[in-house]
Amino acid sequence: MAIQDKEFDITRSLKIVEKLKSQLLCDIAHLFAGMAEYNKEFYEDRGDLLANMVILTYLLSKKLGIPYNTLDMKIRNKLKLGILESSNEQEWFADLSSLLRHLDATQDNFRR
């Protein structure tokens, strides 16, 4: 019976992963469609779509065995690498630096 329980958990986890992937792809499609058409309704919804994509990415990460703090670390490392590699592209450098400062400030506020 323990094997059946384990198989059920694996099947359940796979279904959850597939649902997360599907929802992420749907949100990306809605974002792209909205950007192509651009109307007032989309302007108001784009923040929600982007927030959903971030949340879904974190949930998918956890289901794939990557803890939230590991994903955070990987994001910070990629930002730092991007900053080093984009030193001659001022706007990109500024955006990456600003995002890294934001994430660091958010983490500092969370620790308090």
The model's confidence at residue 54, banded by pLDDT at 50, 70 and 90, is very high
Same domain assignment for residues 5 and 60: yes
Same domain assignment for residues 46 and 97: no
Same domain assignment for residues 83 and 45: no
In eight-state DSSP terms, residue 106 is H
Which structural domain range is residue 6 located in? 1-66
Between the alpha carbon of residue 61 and those of residues 21, 68, 69, 76, the distances in Å are 11, 7, 10, 16
- Tally the C-alpha atoms within 13 A of residue 44's C-alpha that lie toward its C-beta: 2
Cα dihedral 80, 85, 87, 91 sign? negative
Note if the pTM is more than 0.85.
no
Condensed to tens digits (0 to 9), the pLDDT of residues 22-50 reads 999 999 999 998 888 877 777 778 999 99
Q: Which residues have CB under 8 Å from 102's CB, separation 6+?
A: none
